[in-house]
A = this chain, B = another copy of it.
Amino acid sequence: MTNPDMSGMDRIGLMQTFVRIVEAGSLSAAAAQLGTSQPTVSRRLQALERSLGLELLQRSTHAMKLTDDGARCFAHAKTLLESWQAMTADLRGAKDAPEGHLRVLVPHAFGQDQLMAPLMAYLRRYPQSLSNGCCMIGVPISLLRASIAPCRSARWTIPP
């Protein structure tokens, strides 16, 4: 009952958490997406702010706004995490986990029953898919298309 492989919390994990917070829009949403608790996310954010010596985002009880420093930090964090993922991707080769976009073409009602289960299984199998950001785009049924591709501001959780 610990960490779904962030493999020991650290500065990289802290920034991963920070990015998730910003993209999720709230600490609790980030906690849900990360499969951890709200206090943990709060503490990680505090730790990052403390280690950098500046305030990243001003948070009142029902709002959240990126500081100027926070915005710069976010940009840096994105590039740095990108470097990290490039590194692991190169070192582990493609032998480990699939990579790139996953596009699915399926009727709407079919998707409800037949798509969601394998999709959830897939995301449970490769949770890092979510760290790139993951969303589902609904398209008019005439096109019969559901698309899964990287984007921002998505809120996904993987039910147990």
Contacts and interface: CB of A to CB of B under 8 A. Distances in A.
A133 to B, nearest CB: 20
Contact of A10 (B8, B54, B69): B8
A99 interface: no
Contacts of A86: 76
Contacts of A54: 91-92
B91 A73 contact: yes
User: What DSSP secondary structure best describes chain A's contact surface?
Assistant: helix
Interface residues of A, number: 27
B80 A76 contact: no
Contacts of A12: 10-12
Nearest to A52: B91
Contacts of A91: 52, 54, 69, 72-73, 76
Interface in A62-105: 69, 72-73, 76-77, 79-80, 83-84, 86-88, 90-92, 96
A53 interface: yes
Interface of A: 7-13, 51-54, 69, 72-73, 76-77, 79-80, 83-84, 86-88, 90-92, 96
8 contacts: A11-B11, A11-B12, A53-B96, A54-B91, A54-B92, A72-B91, A73-B87, A83-B83
